[in-house]
Each structure stands twice: as structure tokens, then as C-alpha cells.
Structure 1
Amino acid sequence: MTPALLAVAAAGGSAGKAAAAQVGSHAPSTPGLFGAFVALALVVALIFALAWLLRRLPGGGFRPAEGLKLVASLPLGAKERVVVVDVGGRQLLLGVTAGGIRTLHELAEPLPQAAAPKLPDLKQLPNFAQLLAQKLRKDR
């Protein structure tokens, strides 16, 4: 033992215990369950406040613009595409590139609406296990 520890031990156990109690007494205590709920409530309130602010800002929010609808789109390259946009009943053919957007043509007649793709009847599809067995037999 070091001489300082021997001196503390010789002075008496009660003085050493009091010094040890004073060392940890000024440490902050961990927040309790109430503090955790308050912090959670503050975070949730902040989320709702930011959502309200986003709706109030012009151009903010996720609502589509009235009178403006994307009818069709065709990619031509990595950053180039041709789109047909319906604006107030008029359909415009637009060229979209990384450098900007240009009006290519105004359509005299609106494009016909494409029918929803018809899904095949699942009962008419062949069984996967049968197809796999046939394929394995052909490979041999």
C-alpha cells in the first residue's frame, strides 16, 4: 500500500467512508421514467409542429397540383425523357433533359386512356413444381 492509503486507514474507517460518500454525492442522477416520457412528448410535438409548418408553406406539402396531370412518360436516356402532360384539358408533349424542359408539341386530340393491364387467371397458370420437374427431366 502507498503511504497515503496507510494514513487514511490509520485515521479511521469512518473518515474514509465519509470521504467516499462525498465523492459520489455531486454526480447527477439518471433521469427517471417521467423524464423519458417528457422527452418523448417533446419529440412527438416537434414532429407535429414541423408537419403543420410544411402544410402551411407555399409549395410545401404532398398534394398534387389541381388541373395538372401526367398522362404518359417515355424514358429516352439516362436523364432524358418525353412526357405528355394534361394542363387544364390541353395535352402537351414535353421534352425533359438535365438542362431543362421544352414544349415539343401541343396535341390536337388527347391520348386515349390505356386500359388497366389484365392479370392472368392463376388457375390457368401451370404449377411451378411441374415446370421444374419437366425442366430437370429435359436436362438429363
Structure 2
Amino acid sequence: MITLLATAAPAAGALARPVAQAGAQAGAHAPATPGLFGAFMALVLVLGLILGLAWLLRRLPGGFRPAEGLRVVGSLALGAKERVMVVEVGGRQLLLGVTPAGISLLHDLPEPLPPVEPPRLPNLKNLPNFAQLLSQRLRKDS
């Protein structure tokens, strides 16, 4: 049995060499990874695809456009899934109750709600001096 293994070992080694050489040659024909230009072109293609789909969604009927003549004036969350909303439709303002079970008309407002003033950033010139406030606070505490 040992003699059989000894005679089979050189034959197996001779068979393995052409396979190893063929594998090296096969790897030489493998496609190279894309370079920087290829990566840039792929990025341009993806961005173009995103912009094209956004344009297409705007053109479809019922896309992501707000309904004309319908505007949400205000909304207040009452619970996890319950809300009260004021919606303006054709110059009228309606108070709606929105729940998972449905939407109910609560009240037809006789006069529109006053417009809400958007939040303003503070004027940096009118802010108090931090150093003076700190020194005043330190004097009061001691």
C-alpha cells in the first residue's frame, strides 16, 4: 500500500501543475475593477436616474402635488393617533377630527383663524452682555 501511494504522489503533482497554470491564465483575463472615471460615471448615472424619476413623478396625475384650493391651516395632536385640524377649502375653514377610524367635521368656523406669525430669530444687537449677566449673578450668589 505504501508503494502504491509513493507511485501515485508524483503523478498527482504532475496533474496539479497544469491546473494551477490554467488558473493563473484564467485570472489574467478577469475584468479589471473600474477606475476613478468609471466610478464618477456611475455616480452621474445614478444622480440622473434620481432626477429623472423625480421629474416623472411630478408629471404623473395625482403625484406629489398639493391639492389646489385645499390648505392645512393648523394641526394639534390630541393623542398618539388623534388630531384636530383646521383645513381651508374654498375660503371656508373647517375644524376636522382625525382618528384611525376616520375623519369627522367638528365645526364650520364662521370667521377664519388669525394668521400665525412665523417664529423670528432673536436680534443679536438687543441681547444682553453675557459677561455683565455672569458678574451680576456671581455677586448675588456670594
TM over 0.5: yes
How far has the Cα of 1:47 moved from its partner?
1.1
1:44 corresponds to = 47
1:67 corresponds to = 69
2:38 corresponds to = 35
> How high is the TM-score relative to the length of structure 1?
0.67
**Residues paired across the two proteins, number:** 127
1:83 corresponds to = 85
1:15 corresponds to = none
Computed over aligned residues only, the root mean square deviation of the Cα atoms, in angstroms, reads 3.2
How far has the Cα of 1:66 moved from its partner?
1.2
CA distance in 2, matches of 1:44, 1:118: 36
As a proportion of its length, which structure holds more helix?
2
CA distance in 2, matches of 1:137, 1:48: 61
How far has the Cα of 1:104 moved from its partner?
0.4
CA distance in 2, matches of 1:29, 1:36: 13
Please list, as runs of the form range in 1=range in 2, the aligned pairs for 1:1-140 lying within 5 A after superposition. 19=21, 22=25, 24-61=27-64, 63-116=65-118, 121-140=123-142
Return closer, same or farther for 1:115/1:23 CA change in 2, 3 Å cut-off. Answer: closer
How far has the Cα of 1:102 moved from its partner?
1.0
How far has the Cα of 1:88 moved from its partner?
0.6
Deviates more, 1:46-55 or 1:75-84: 75-84
How far has the Cα of 1:78 moved from its partner?
3.2
- Gap runs ≥5 in structure 2: 1-8, 15-20
AA matched with 1:126: P
**Identity, % of aligned pairs?**
70
> How high is the TM-score relative to the length of structure 2?
0.66
Return closer, same or farther for 1:132/1:75 CA change in 2, 3 Å cut-off. Answer: farther
AA matched with 1:86: E
CA distance in 2, matches of 1:130, 1:100: 57
1:12 corresponds to = none
Q: Output one character per residue of 1:77-119: Cα deviation in whole Å (capped at 9) or x when no partner.
A: 3332222111011110111223322110111222233445676
How far has the Cα of 1:31 moved from its partner?
2.1
CA distance in 2, matches of 1:72, 1:32: 53
